[in-house]
Structure 1
Amino acid sequence: MIKQEIRKNIREQKSRLSFQERETYSNLIIKKLTEQREYQRASEVFCYISFNQEVITSAFIEEALSGRKRIAVPKITGDGMKFYYISSLKNLKPGVLGILEPDTRNEEAVPKKGNENLIIVPGLAFDLLGNRIGYGKGYYDAFFGKYKDFSWIKTALAYDFQILPKLPAEEHDIKVDHIITQSGLIK
């Protein structure tokens, strides 16, 4: 199965989820994420803003902010993707792709050398080796390429059906370290 077929298949499966199913699964997934040692030790988290039928991250972001963690969310810019710290979800506005984004007047979040930087990575499909198929724009691969000398803990949140045995992967594709679904930790 080529990447475009996989994307189409997963999008179709996601579109069949009711809002209640997405919310229930998302709550289970977020609970498992917040129980992870890597999350509990992190003072800041880079996290995507959920869009369409992705695992819902808004409650997670609010909880992390109330727990005194610094949260950085992505913004598509002319030269790729940058992360900016936020203090609330209320000030986000739809960006280039229709996804809520922060204001560039916020402080830019740059990973810390010597730290394990926790990042919650979106994607359409994942495999048991940590390979990922994103939405085809390459923003996250380029972001990790820019910060390749930094230590990352890359965690993906996904519904069970988004996990496939093996995905086509290319040398430049960045693998995730952990995948959390409603059934538990996959990797």
Structure 2
Amino acid sequence: MDKVNNQVNKAELRRTILQKRKSLSVEESREKCDRICTHLQSSLLFTPAQTILAYFSFRQEPDLSQLVDDKRRWGFPRCVGNSMNWHIWKPGEPLTKGNYGICEPHPDLPILNANEVDLILVPSVACDGRGYRLGYGGGYYDRLLSSPEWASKPTIGIVFEFAYLPQLPIQEWDIQLNGVCTEMGLRMRR
């Protein structure tokens, strides 16, 4: 498949899945999010992790806020130019709206370095069984995960089951995740 068709397919797929996600009722979404969090909490990657990078739910993404506790350090992204800084954040600390309308930790909160991180929970529009993800098209996570200091960190894509597909169109810069978690369970890359 050529590069232009690949980009068109990604754009169409993104639009379709975002529309389906938007059509979920609040109750259905909450139930699915609860099940995703339960699967994560019992996973062998999550249980020993002391410092976890997560995200603030946006555009009806699976909400992981119930996972955030005092037992671990939690990092959340702040977009800075073409990259992300990861700030330590605790419930109740200040948030700001970023360039994309996504909540971000206040810039004065401490920054986490790659060597402090045990697990990255990656927001995704869709994921496939090979560990590839479809994001929003900004390339932030692909840039992050392709850098040497972040490349070895365990990653789990978070999607609803309808967005877990057999195969996504990919490009040379797409980075594979280690696993994908949906309300049906955690699947490690095959």
- What pairs with 1:24-103 in structure 2 (closer than 5 Å)? 24-61=31-68, 65-66=69-70, 68-103=71-106
Deviations 1:154-178 (A, max 9, x none): 0112111001111111121111111
Q: Distance in 1 between matches of 2:155 and 2:63?
A: 17
Q: Distance in 2 between matches of 1:41 and 1:15?
A: 33
Q: Does the C-alpha gap of structure 1 residues 20 and 104 become closer, same or farther in structure 2, counting only changes over 3 Å?
A: same
After TM superposition, give the deviation of residue 3 of structure 1 in Å: 0.3
Q: Distance in 2 between matches of 1:160 and 1:149?
A: 27
Q: Does the C-alpha gap of structure 1 residues 95 and 23 become closer, same or farther in structure 2, counting only changes over 3 Å?
A: same
Between 144-153 and 124-133, report the one with greater CA deviation.
Answer: 144-153
Q: Does the C-alpha gap of structure 1 residues 74 and 45 become closer, same or farther in structure 2, counting only changes over 3 Å?
A: same
Normalising by structure 1, what TM-score? 0.90
Q: Distance in 1 between matches of 2:165 and 2:92?
A: 32
Answer whether contact 1:85 1:106 (CA < 8 A) is retained: yes
After TM superposition, give the deviation of residue 147 of structure 1 in Å: 3.9
One-letter code aligned to 1:166: Q
Q: Distance in 1 between matches of 2:13 and 2:43?
A: 29
Q: Does the C-alpha gap of structure 1 residues 46 and 179 become closer, same or farther in structure 2, counting only changes over 3 Å?
A: same
Normalising by structure 2, what TM-score? 0.89
Q: Distance in 2 between matches of 1:51 and 1:165?
A: 25
Answer whether contact 1:74 1:83 (CA < 8 A) is retained: yes
- What pairs with 1:104-183 in structure 2 (closer than 5 Å)? 104-112=107-115, 117-148=118-149, 150-183=151-184
Q: Distance in 2 between matches of 1:134 and 1:181?
A: 16
Q: Does the C-alpha gap of structure 1 residues 38 and 18 become closer, same or farther in structure 2, counting only changes over 3 Å?
A: same
Between 87-96 and 163-172, report the one with greater CA deviation.
Answer: 87-96
Q: Distance in 2 between matches of 1:78 and 1:40?
A: 33
Q: CA RMSD in A?
A: 1.7
After TM superposition, give the deviation of residue 150 of structure 1 in Å: 4.7
One-letter code aligned to 1:88: P
One-letter code aligned to 2:137: G
